[in-house]
Structure 1
Amino acid sequence: METVLFVTQLLVVLGCIVMGTRSSGVALGLWGGTGVAILVFVFRLPPGSPPVDALLIVLAVVLASSMMQAAGGIDWMVSIAAKLIARNPKQITLVAPLVSFVFSVGAGTSNILYPLLPVIQDLSYRNGIRPSRPLSLSVVATGVALACSPVSAAMAAMVTLTDTAPWNFELIDILKVTIPAAVVGIVVSSFVVNRLGKDIADDPDIQAKIASGEIPAPQADAQQVQAQVTVTSSGRNAALIFLTGVAVIVAFGLFTGIRPLDAAGDPISMTPIIEIVMFVAGTVILLVSRPKVAEIPTMTVFRAGMVSAIALFGLAWLTDTFLAAHTEVIADGVGSLVAAVPWIFALGVFLVCVLTTSQSTATRTIVPIGLAAGIPLGLLSGMWAGAFAGIYLLPTNGSQIAAANFDTSGSTRLGSKLVDHSFFVPTLVLAASTIAAGALFGVLWGG
């Protein structure tokens, strides 16, 4: 009877995730909350703990980053990224994904990629490089970047799960595994992706467009392509203030001795520190750069962040309710399987990312299972980072659609069979290489 109840309740959880995924956006949160209602009122399970700490981190970070965007900070960061990419056009399949990764880490969002897409497309095409190569890998690289950012929603979820007893695995412990793993993954993937598809000179479709005059022939010139954004001193100042806040968070993570003490005389955890620093950063941006506060709710970062927070709230509450009621079963059954074959954990995170296109949701859903299974936290962090590439396995993400639309050569395709799009192989290669590197680094020095 207990097995039947367990399976039935699991189907409720999976069903709500699937229904939320089909509707997308805030519907993920709504279906998560509905699942909690079914588990509580129908199956009489005690309600789990809502992810309050993670939500507060997300809200603080979204507010600060939205202030930065409103002041023009993201435009300034994009202009710097565009210059870095333009310096090495022949190596754009490696340079563009690395630059996209670094700036997504700093900003805590993959939205910074959108203005870079036309720059990447134009520079690669001018230099005779198939645009789908740097475009596809740049998009996928921003997925794993959120496992390396101190201010992403996914990291907020991860930190609140691991920086408390009995694990006490803090932000810096995660970053020292995920960052090198992601960089290695991107470098390895660039060699593979650089061989995908035909070169421009050998592609009959592109050559037909050139012959018809639909697109010009590739021709590099001395002109450096710049992002089509307006750069201002207030935007520069806002970005530098925000990035300083990120650096301060990392410093507090590195040096526990500089943190304030709690009531027990111990250094406070990173959760309130991230929230406090981001509030201060947002306030300093307000005073120095003077963005229009009324425009904050209209910022793309704000809207995306609020959607993520709502989805995180509902689905994390749902999974916590289910997991808390079946801790022993999961630890003994699923947990022992994951402990024996840790790659199953990575596969679980990858699949939830595919289904929900949300790294924070995947974190709150699967990481508690990995913790219950006793996976070493360094190993867990490394695999967790690589699995984030899964959000791009299906061609349904906004940045994938934008990349395909910006590619005037038509080499970047969304496909028609779910597996024939330009992002499918880069997603699998980046996920596999980052997971492998993350597992290695996690075992070596992750704890």
Structure 2
Amino acid sequence: MAVVHILIVLCAIVLGARLGSIAIGLAGGAGVMLLGFSGVAVTRDDIPFDVIGIIMAVIAAIAAMQRAGGLDYLVHLAERALRKNPKYITYVAPVVTYFMTLFAGTGHTAFSTLPVIVEVSKESGVRPSRPLSVAVPASQMAITASPISAAVVFMASIMEPLGVGYLTLLAILIPATFLAIFPTAWLANRLGKELEADAEYQDRLSRGLVSPPKGAAHYEPVRGAKASVVIFLVAILAVMVYATAISDQVGLISEPTLPRNEAIMAMMLTAATIIVLVCKFPAGDILNTQVFRSGMSASVCVLGVAWLGTTLVNHYIEEIQDFSGDLLNAYPWLLAVVLFFAAALLYSQAATAKALMPAALAMGVSPLTAVAAFPAVSALFILPTYPTLLAAVEMDDTGSTRIGKAVFNHPFFIPGTLQIVLSVLLGYLIGGVLI
């Protein structure tokens, strides 16, 4: 029956990927139902309620900030940074997308910066696929280092009993994932022909399909835009301070009445409330923002896919431990490989971590290995179907960012893979000192 159960999971994931968008979560739920009918025990504990709750609360706060004009203000700051150093856009663009995701806890913020990256690249004569191929994976990688992302919060919850605190986790993952950007950008600058020598670009140019660069647009922040950003930033700092205060390592609050996960949800919802009050807009407008729609779609995707993966893993946990325990102990780096390919199918850093990390730790994987391998859950770029990847392809009207006939033949694969490899190696180096 194991083969049947694995086929059910794979078919559900493939069906969801083919249908696209929220369907990956819907198909995951259908897969859970089929697993239940085929004899697999389905329990409530397999549903990642904390992960989903954190995603929803954070998205609510970001959507409120977007409605208040805060995201437009952040994009304006990002555009200023990109236009100050146009010749170095392959280095600057991923730094911008990385910090926007690190700050917001979701990669959906990258959508707003992609058109700016394309525009500045064209103005500078830089092949847009070069900065885009690093910036998109960097925005995904930052999820594994964001203080308020569901993936990091879940990782902290399973690592703290093993002696790796919340701040220690961030102290390893932030520099490991950030420093990996620069060697990757150096490589990306050497991939593909120069823009003027690209036959696809010349063909599109001759047919009038390439719009000329528009230059910097005049921007005036609306009332409340800056205030919403400040409120959101203060909420993030409050989360970090509170999570540190209640951690076992610091212990300022020994018996907290508000646990960390619940505190993050409450603080994010509170931040959204304050933004609505201070910026004075109808709360119902939040429901119409692009961030809210994308974020709620992501919540359903995590619900279906994580529930599906966790149900299968928990059903066969003993067999998995017997088969893989000795192998992972002998070759611990294989955990990163497993997470890398699992993320391509599960479409979510949080879902991948929820489905596989507890099983890996149960097999005896060391805390250092688990933390170092964690950035590998960001391999959402392997299949050219992830929303930010597709958006980058669509927004680059030069045709330099294109998907080939082969499944893996796209410009994000090599830079994204290199970023993960470097992040894992740096995680081992930094973690070896801090853990």
TM-score normalised by length of structure 2: 0.89
CA RMSD of aligned residues (A): 2.8
- Compute the displacement of 1:194 (Å): 0.9
Q: Do 2:17 and 2:385's aligned partners in 1 also have CA atoms closer than 8 Å?
A: no
Residues 46 and 83 of structure 1: CA distance in aligned 2, closer, same or farther (over 3 Å): closer
Matches within 5 A, 1:327-406: 327-388=317-378, 390-406=379-395
Partner in structure 2 of residue 181 of structure 1:
176
Residues 308 and 259 of structure 1: CA distance in aligned 2, closer, same or farther (over 3 Å): farther
CA–CA distance in structure 2, aligned partners of residues 278 and 216 of structure 1: 40
Opposite residue 314 of structure 2, the aligned amino acid is A
Summarize deviations over 1:265-321 as a string: whole Å, max 9, x none. Answer: 368642122112112211111111123211222222212221222222233233333
- Compute the displacement of 1:15 (Å): 3.5
Partner in structure 1 of residue 430 of structure 2:
441
Partner in structure 2 of residue 152 of structure 1:
149
Partner in structure 2 of residue 194 of structure 1:
189
Residues 84 and 205 of structure 1: CA distance in aligned 2, closer, same or farther (over 3 Å): same
- Compute the displacement of 1:211 (Å): 6.9
Q: Do 1:185 and 1:434's aligned partners in 2 also have CA atoms closer than 8 Å?
A: yes
Q: Do 1:385 and 1:434's aligned partners in 2 also have CA atoms closer than 8 Å?
A: yes
Q: Does structure 1 residue 241 correspond to structure 2 residue 231?
A: yes
Residues 133 and 45 of structure 1: CA distance in aligned 2, closer, same or farther (over 3 Å): same
Residues 205 and 63 of structure 1: CA distance in aligned 2, closer, same or farther (over 3 Å): closer
CA–CA distance in structure 2, aligned partners of residues 18 and 211 of structure 1: 39
Residues 229 and 334 of structure 1: CA distance in aligned 2, closer, same or farther (over 3 Å): farther
Opposite residue 33 of structure 1, the aligned amino acid is G
Partner in structure 1 of residue 409 of structure 2:
420
CA–CA distance in structure 1, aligned partners of residues 94 and 19 of structure 2: 30
- Compute the displacement of 1:378 (Å): 3.5
Q: 1:109 aligns with which of 88, 106, 111?
A: 106
Q: 1:167 aligns with which of 159, 162, 167?
A: 162
Residues 38 and 86 of structure 1: CA distance in aligned 2, closer, same or farther (over 3 Å): same
CA–CA distance in structure 1, aligned partners of residues 125 and 93 of structure 2: 15
SS of 1:392 mapped into structure 2 = coil
Q: Do 2:245 and 2:253's aligned partners in 1 also have CA atoms closer than 8 Å?
A: no
- Compute the displacement of 1:146 (Å): 1.0
Task: Count residues with an aligned counterpart.
Answer: 432
SS of 1:314 mapped into structure 2 = helix
Matches within 5 A, 1:21-40: 21-40=17-36
Partner in structure 2 of residue 73 of structure 1:
70
Q: Do 1:119 and 1:225's aligned partners in 2 also have CA atoms closer than 8 Å?
A: no
Structure 2 residue ranges without an equivalent (≥5)? none
Residues 143 and 229 of structure 1: CA distance in aligned 2, closer, same or farther (over 3 Å): farther
- Compute the displacement of 1:235 (Å): 1.6
CA–CA distance in structure 2, aligned partners of residues 378 and 253 of structure 1: 21
Residues 115 and 310 of structure 1: CA distance in aligned 2, closer, same or farther (over 3 Å): closer
Q: Do 2:40 and 2:315's aligned partners in 1 also have CA atoms closer than 8 Å?
A: no
CA–CA distance in structure 1, aligned partners of residues 398 and 30 of structure 2: 45
CA–CA distance in structure 2, aligned partners of residues 387 and 184 of structure 1: 17
Partner in structure 2 of residue 225 of structure 1:
216
SS of 1:391 mapped into structure 2 = coil
- Compute the displacement of 1:358 (Å): 2.1
Residues 180 and 25 of structure 1: CA distance in aligned 2, closer, same or farther (over 3 Å): same
Q: Do 1:170 and 1:270's aligned partners in 2 also have CA atoms closer than 8 Å?
A: no
CA–CA distance in structure 2, aligned partners of residues 321 and 386 of structure 1: 22
Partner in structure 2 of residue 314 of structure 1:
304
Q: Does structure 1 residue 85 correspond to structure 2 residue 85?
A: no
Opposite residue 391 of structure 2, the aligned amino acid is A
Opposite residue 352 of structure 1, the aligned amino acid is A
CA–CA distance in structure 1, aligned partners of residues 2 and 318 of structure 2: 12
CA–CA distance in structure 1, aligned partners of residues 150 and 3 of structure 2: 30
CA–CA distance in structure 2, aligned partners of residues 120 and 30 of structure 1: 33
CA–CA distance in structure 2, aligned partners of residues 340 and 290 of structure 1: 59
Opposite residue 102 of structure 1, the aligned amino acid is F
Q: Do 1:33 and 1:317's aligned partners in 2 also have CA atoms closer than 8 Å?
A: yes
Q: Does structure 1 residue 291 correspond to structure 2 residue 267?
A: no
CA–CA distance in structure 2, aligned partners of residues 243 and 8 of structure 1: 48
Q: Do 1:94 and 1:134's aligned partners in 2 also have CA atoms closer than 8 Å?
A: yes
SS of 1:91 mapped into structure 2 = helix
TM-score normalised by length of structure 1: 0.87
Residues 6 and 99 of structure 1: CA distance in aligned 2, closer, same or farther (over 3 Å): same
CA–CA distance in structure 1, aligned partners of residues 273 and 191 of structure 2: 46
- Compute the displacement of 1:188 (Å): 1.2
Q: 1:275 aligns with which of 241, 244, 265?
A: 265
Opposite residue 427 of structure 1, the aligned amino acid is G
Opposite residue 290 of structure 1, the aligned amino acid is K
Q: Do 1:151 and 1:246's aligned partners in 2 also have CA atoms closer than 8 Å?
A: yes
Summarize deviations over 1:18-48 as a string: whole Å, max 9, x none. Answer: 3333334333333333333344343152525
Summarize deviations over 1:147-199 as a string: whole Å, max 9, x none. Answer: 11122233344344444xx4364432321121111111111101100111122
Partner in structure 2 of residue 304 of structure 1:
294
SS of 1:233 mapped into structure 2 = coil
Opposite residue 240 of structure 1, the aligned amino acid is V
Opposite residue 224 of structure 2, the aligned amino acid is S
SS of 1:285 mapped into structure 2 = helix
- Compute the displacement of 1:376 (Å): 2.5
Q: Do 2:86 and 2:121's aligned partners in 1 also have CA atoms closer than 8 Å?
A: yes
CA–CA distance in structure 2, aligned partners of residues 368 and 427 of structure 1: 25
